[in-house]
């Protein structure tokens, strides 16, 4: 019977210890290097994406808007690139005419607004202070929320943002004026080719379905984006006309602000009417004109024009979001990209909803036809 070999546990010698130390150190260093490079890579991606996010998004919106016009010219000329140039020249001419007409007026309005803004903020602070005092007088058991101080600091913040932010936004706007037309040109010219290249990556078995779905989703998206932009423009024009009947100043700015904020459902129109009502309150006081402005903002623009006419015609019912989703989208968008994120957060969530619904509808269409023969038999 052979004796089993005794297992001897030798303590690790010096060489092994050094080797283990080197391997561990190298591993740790490599891990740290990968981690730091990964974070810097993520930072790089974040910086690059935040710089490109807005121009690409605006270009996509513009592409969806201009696509029907380009297609119209392409039908007659037969050339895509030539048609895009025609549309660009027409847009440039339109912009030039608009600038000739609007810029001098808006420049003086903007200058006086910058001077008037502290006055409006003061008016708002006074109004809030009065309101606070009234609340305190009526409900003495509730501690003062220091509304005055809060209102004042909010006002100061707004003034600072406007005064400091204007040159920065002008610089950013300059960059956008350069990048957006360029990106839009390439999206208009090569958009379908880019989409086709992406679709071609799908495996053979799923390719056909992916292609069909992408077409349906793009169609719905262009319908939705065009609808939203046209809706915002019409609301802006209605408010401009409505306010023009009164002595209120900055009608143009107020109309543009109301139009842009109208892109956010439920909350947007409320935010959009705040500056108008504030200016009316400070400049005109509570009277006939003030109540007319409230009616224009609330009843005419929102209830009659938007809810009864525009939304049923322009926006498909299913792209409307539940108010809860709107709030979530605004909070998430605001956290990621500030005020801009708050404006574009909701359309992005609507887009995701459209994609989801299109996929579900597509699946339902084909599973429904599957069940038909059974029900017939």
What are the residues binding other proteins (CB under 8 A)? 71, 74-75, 78, 80, 192-193, 196, 199-200, 204-205, 207-209, 211-212, 214-216, 362, 365-366, 369-370
Spatial CB neighbours of 81, under 8 Å, sequence gap ≥ 6: 189
Using the minimum distance from each CB to other proteins, give the nearer residue, 190 or 247: 190
Spatial CB neighbours of 294, under 8 Å, sequence gap ≥ 6: 273, 277
- For the bound state, the minimum distance from the C-beta of residue 204 to other proteins, rounded and expressed in Å, comes to 6
Taking the C-alpha atoms of residue 339 and residue 162, their distance in angstroms, rounded to an integer, is 13
- For the bound state, the minimum distance from the C-beta of residue 207 to other proteins, rounded and expressed in Å, comes to 7
Using the minimum distance from each CB to other proteins, give the nearer residue, 212 or 247: 212
The helix/strand count (H/E) of the chain reads as: 9, 0
- For the bound state, the minimum distance from the C-beta of residue 74 to other proteins, rounded and expressed in Å, comes to 5
Using the minimum distance from each CB to other proteins, give the nearer residue, 193 or 322: 193
- For the bound state, the minimum distance from the C-beta of residue 83 to other proteins, rounded and expressed in Å, comes to 9
Taking the C-alpha atoms of residue 176 and residue 183, their distance in angstroms, rounded to an integer, is 10
> How many Cβ atoms sit within 10 Å of the Cβ of residue 173?
11
- For the bound state, the minimum distance from the C-beta of residue 219 to other proteins, rounded and expressed in Å, comes to 8
Sign of CA dihedral 140, 143, 145, 149: positive
Using the minimum distance from each CB to other proteins, give the nearer residue, 78 or 285: 78
Using the minimum distance from each CB to other proteins, give the nearer residue, 205 or 317: 205
Residue with tokens 């903007």: 110
Using the minimum distance from each CB to other proteins, give the nearer residue, 74 or 149: 74
Do residues 120 and 282 lie in contact, with contact meaning Cβ atoms separated by under 8 Å?
yes
Using the minimum distance from each CB to other proteins, give the nearer residue, 100 or 204: 204
For Cα atoms 134, 140, 145, give the angle at the middle one, nearest 5 degrees: 70
- For the bound state, the minimum distance from the C-beta of residue 181 to other proteins, rounded and expressed in Å, comes to 22
Using the minimum distance from each CB to other proteins, give the nearer residue, 80 or 129: 80
Long-range contacts of 351-359 (CB under 8 A, 24+ apart): 351/221, 351/224, 353/318, 353/319, 353/321, 353/325, 354/217, 354/220, 354/221, 354/224, 354/318, 354/319, 355/217, 357/318, 358/213, 358/216, 358/217, 358/220, 359/213, 359/217
- For the bound state, the minimum distance from the C-beta of residue 81 to other proteins, rounded and expressed in Å, comes to 13
- For the bound state, the minimum distance from the C-beta of residue 187 to other proteins, rounded and expressed in Å, comes to 15
Do residues 326 and 266 lie in contact, with contact meaning Cβ atoms separated by under 8 Å?
yes
Spatial CB neighbours of 302, under 8 Å, sequence gap ≥ 6: 235, 269
């Amino acid at each position: 019977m052979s004796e089993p070999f005794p297992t001897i546990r030798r303590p690790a010698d010096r060489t092994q210890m050094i080797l283990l130390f080197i391997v561990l150190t190298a591993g740790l260093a490599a891990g740290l290097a990968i981690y730091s490079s990964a974070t810097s890579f993520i930072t790089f991606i974040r910086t690059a994406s935040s710089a490109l996010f807005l121009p690409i998004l605006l270009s996509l919106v513009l592409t969806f808007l201009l696509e029907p016009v380009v297609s119209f010219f392409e039908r007659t000329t037969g050339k895509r690139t030539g048609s895009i140039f025609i549309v660009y020249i027409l847009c440039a001419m339109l912009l030039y005419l608009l600038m000739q007409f609007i810029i001098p007026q808006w420049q003086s309005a903007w200058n006086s607004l910058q001077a008037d803004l502290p006055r409006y903020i003061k008016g708002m602070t006074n109004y809030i202070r009065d309101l606070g005092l009234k609340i305190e007088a009526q409900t003495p058991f509730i501690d003062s929320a220091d509304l005055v101080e809060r209102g004042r600091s909010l006002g100061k913040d707004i003034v600072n943002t406007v005064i400091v932010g204007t040159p920065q936004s002008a610089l950013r706007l300059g960059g956008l004026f350069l990048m957006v037309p360029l990106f839009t040109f390439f999206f208009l010219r090569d958009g379908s080719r880019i989409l086709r290249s992406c679709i071609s990556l799908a495996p053979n078995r799923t390719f056909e379905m992916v292609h069909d779905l992408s077409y349906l989703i793009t169609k719905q998206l262009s319908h939705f984006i065009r609808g939203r932009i046209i809706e915002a423009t019409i609301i802006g024009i209605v408010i401009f006309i409505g306010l023009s009947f009164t002595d209120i100043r900055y009608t143009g700015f107020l109309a543009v602000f109301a139009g842009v904020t109208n892109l956010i459902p439920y909350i947007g129109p409320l935010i959009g009417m705040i500056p108008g009502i504030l200016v009316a309150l400070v400049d005109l006081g509570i009277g006939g004109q003030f109540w007319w402005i409230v009616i224009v903002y609330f009843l005419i623009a929102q209830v009659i024009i938007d809810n009864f006419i525009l939304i049923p015609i322009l926006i498909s019912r299913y792209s409307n979001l539940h108010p809860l989703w709107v709030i979530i989208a605004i909070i998430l968008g605001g956290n990621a990209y500030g005020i801009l994120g708050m404006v574009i957060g909701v359309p992005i969530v609507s887009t995701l909803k459209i994609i989801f619904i299109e996929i579900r509808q597509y699946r339902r269409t084909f599973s429904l036809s599957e069940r038909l023969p059974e029900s017939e038999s």
